[in-house]
Amino acid sequence: MKPSKINCLKCDDSGVRLSILSRRRYAQAGFCDCVKTPCPTCKGSGFLLENDELQREIAITCPECEERERRIQLYNSARVPKRFVNSRLQESHRDENNENVFELLKLILRNLPDFLHGLDLQRPGDELFKGMVLMGPPGTGKTHLMTGFTFQCSVILGISCVFQGFSELLSELRQGYSDGKSDVEIIEPHLRTELLIIDDLGKGRNTDWELGILDTLISERYNRNQLIMATTNFTEKEETTLSERVLAGDKSDKDQYINDTIRKRVGERIYSRLQEMCYFENLSGPDRRTEEV
């Protein structure tokens, strides 16, 4: 495949440049230097003049400025952690280990605008789906792929996303409960977003209430035909799932390990709901964090 010519290497011609600010937790988007200022359409005024039906001159917001601004807002409200500021789902990051996952993410991206207009999402010759659970050991690049996917959705496609760590998601839901909100009100912000990505699904020990409200959220997104994506260190088999060391209850010096599957971690209800809507994909390969020197 011949790569299309890219004029601005800083932003891949998206017009949006990403950066990190020391006091912020999340990567920040802003205009790239290649964006012409003033805007050639509105000459930098932010407005265009049009005639209404009575031929009176009225000012409207410049659609070009507005759309660029909107995409910057979308990326910033997705809340991508700083260390993933360079994740874009670049073709150069495709390799033999992530090839399948890469293909699936690209297929979703290609079909996402149609999906949001009510069309089904389907892999050729396979069943309909509404999401993906990406499983694999720590360091295989799951979060890197998903934050790159978030960039593509928000900046390139103009789709609203929330990228959120599992613990942070649960703490936000709990906060809603403490504020005296109803279940529907608690999950409402996570239903408003077109794409919800949960990072580190199943992390920590969770209460029945937390898993219950999470089940409500996932079911409601399913009913509304909304996508859900997740990464997790837990897999479907005890042999491949994350092995966690637990403190031995007795006086023996031997370390004890538990090997919970994702099914055990999130409970039967959530697991079967996700099974219904998502592809469960495995990501293997070397730990990329130790490879980087």
CA-to-CA distance for 67 and 123, rounded, in angstroms?
31
The nearer residue to Zn ion, 39 or 121, going by C-beta atoms, is 39
For residue 156, state whether it binds Zn ion (rule: CB under 5 A). Answer: no
Longest Cα pair distance anywhere in the chain, in angstroms? 88
Strand, coil or helix: what is 81?
A: strand
Q: Tell me which long-range contacts 9-13 makes (C-beta under 8 A, separation of at least 24).
A: 10/34, 12/88
Under the binding rule (CB under 5 A), the answer on residue 41 touching Zn ion is yes
Residue with smaller CB distance to Zn ion, 8 or 20: 8
Residue 54 neighbours by CB under 8 Å, 6+ apart: none
Contact between 10 and Zn ion per CB under 5 A: yes
62 binds Zn ion (CB under 5 A): yes
Helix spans in 116-253 (H): 142-151, 166-178, 183-192, 208-223
Q: Which of 20, 39, 121, 156 binds Zn ion (CB under 5 A)?
A: 39
How many whole angstroms separate alpha carbon 139 and alpha carbon 127?
A: 30
Q: In terms of CB distance, is 48 or 109 closer to Zn ion?
A: 48
Residue whose CB is less far from Zn ion, 41 or 90: 41
Q: How far is the CB of 34 from Zn ion (least distance, A)?
A: 3
Instruction: Examine residue 260 and tell whether it contacts Zn ion (CB under 5 A).
Output: no
Q: Which of 29, 42, 195, 214 binds Zn ion (CB under 5 A)?
A: 42
Say whether 256 sits in a helix, a strand or coil: strand
By CB under 5 A, tell whether 107 contacts Zn ion.
no
Of 20, 28, 31, 34, which one interacts with Zn ion (CB under 5 A)? Answer: 34
Token representation of residue 183: 């279940």
Looking at the Cβ atoms of 71 and 265, the one nearer to Zn ion is: 71
Six-digit token pair at 225? 């035909």
CB of 49 to Zn ion, least distance (A): 12
- Check the CA dihedral 159-163-168-170 and report its sign: positive
At 232, the amino acid letter reads T
For residue 82, which amino acid is it?
K
- 191: contact with Zn ion by CB under 5 A: no
The yes or no reply on residue 65 touching Zn ion (CB under 5 A) is yes
Among 20, 32, 109, 121, binds Zn ion (CB under 5 A): 32
Span from 22-30, 54-62, 187-195, 265-273 in contact with Zn ion (CB under 5 A): 54-62
Q: Peptide bond before 40: cis, by omega within 30 degrees of 0?
A: no
Confirm or reject binding of residue 11 to Zn ion (CB under 5 A). yes
Q: How many residues bind Zn ion (CB under 5 A)?
A: 11
Count of Cβ atoms closer than 10 Å to residue 191 Cβ: 14
Binding site for Zn ion (CB under 5 A): 8, 10-11, 32, 34, 39, 41-42, 62, 64-65
